[in-house]
Amino acid sequence: MRKIIIHFGLTFLLILNGNAQDNRIIQERKIYKQVMGQELAVDVFYANETLEGKDNPAIAFFHGGGWAYGSPTEFHNVCRRYAKKGFVTFSFAYRLSICENGLVPHPDITPVESVMDARSAMRWVKEHAGDWNIDSEKVIAAGQSAGGQLALSTALMNHINEATDNPETEPSPCALLLYASNVNTMEAWVDRLLGDRRQEIWSISPYHHLKPNMPPAIEFHGTADPMVNFWIVEYFKEKTLELGNRFEQIPFEGKGHYLAEGDTTYATYFDEAVMERTDSFLDELGLMPDY
């Protein structure tokens, strides 16, 4: 009986300790932009210990969903994971091309507006860096699928900006984390979302705005991805490497658009092995906190 009680007590302490570890992550919601009658929110995650330091790195996540669907909650678990490692993490909402009645597309919201919001989001992080002791030179952009295109847009689409943004604040990140990312918007779905503004399709295509001196990037992609064909990303890689940029493409043989299908830990986007490879990339760039 005494052994059982001791075992129960140890188990209870482990559970308490695990909960304490989770409880030390603070989650806040902020409004980062007001536009078209909408309040766009961001969910912020950090540990109290992180605020005691200086020059903290940050990661801004943009969810997927074809610029019409999805939610910032999809990145909440990965935000918590990196907050535990000493990052300040952000999961951003942005304008989606969907009407209140569920119809797609929205007549006044296209992926162009989503790009504007992503660039506003990065500016907002840098302008509020002091709130969390963030080093504005260590702000990373990350995204899955359409969110990957948005992350890329923060580095590439200098011609697309919200009129209310401060042009003096540079939205470009120091690094890019891309998961099954869209890298070329020359596709039927984007054409549909743009409608009468389809001539703007070129303006938001990462492939068609590649340039030298881009932030270093890593991209994880399934070779059997039916939504963003693997060969499209290979062309992107080839062109950006020719320009002298650092771009690592990590292929997953036979995998589809969701690299961890059936694993809901990170909303089926990726599994822990992908996260650990991401950690290595960040460590190589000197961006992992000494935590």
Residue 289 in any domain: the answer is no
Residue 77 lies in a domain: yes
Tally of structural domains, the chain: 1
Q: What is the pLDDT of residue 7?
A: 41
Four-residue CA torsion sign, 159, 163, 167, 171 = negative
Residue 142 in any domain: the answer is yes
Whether 50 maps to a domain, the answer reads yes
Identify whether 211 is part of a domain: yes
Answer yes or no: is 152 within a domain. yes
Task: Give residue 96's pLDDT band: very low, low, confident or very high (50, 70, 90).
Answer: very high
CA distances to 5, 16, 68 from 2, rounded to whole Å, are 5, 21, 58
The CATH number given to whatever domain includes residue 107 is 3.40.50.1820
Spatial distance between the Cα atoms of 173 and 151, rounded to a whole number of angstroms: 8
Mean pLDDT for the stretch of residues 65-81: 98
Asked, for residue 264, whether it belongs to a domain, the answer is yes
pLDDT in tens, 235-261: 999 999 999 999 999 999 999 999 998
Q: How far apart are CA 104 and CA 98, in angstroms?
A: 5
Q: Is residue 4 part of a domain?
A: no
Q: Is the pLDDT of residue 21 over 70?
A: no
End-to-end CA gap in the chain: 41
In which domain, by residue range, is 72 found? Answer: 27-284
Angle at 121 between CA 193 and CA 199, to 5 degrees: 30
List the structure tokens of 276. Answer: 């650990």
Q: What is the pTM of this model?
A: 0.92
Place of tokens 């995650």: 45
**Lowest mean pLDDT: which of 21-35, 43-57, 273-287?**
21-35
Q: Are 112 and 105 in contact (CB under 8 A)?
A: no
Give the tens place of pLDDT for each residue, 105-154. Answer: 999 999 999 999 999 999 999 999 999 999 999 999 999 999 999 999 99
pLDDT of residue 15: 34
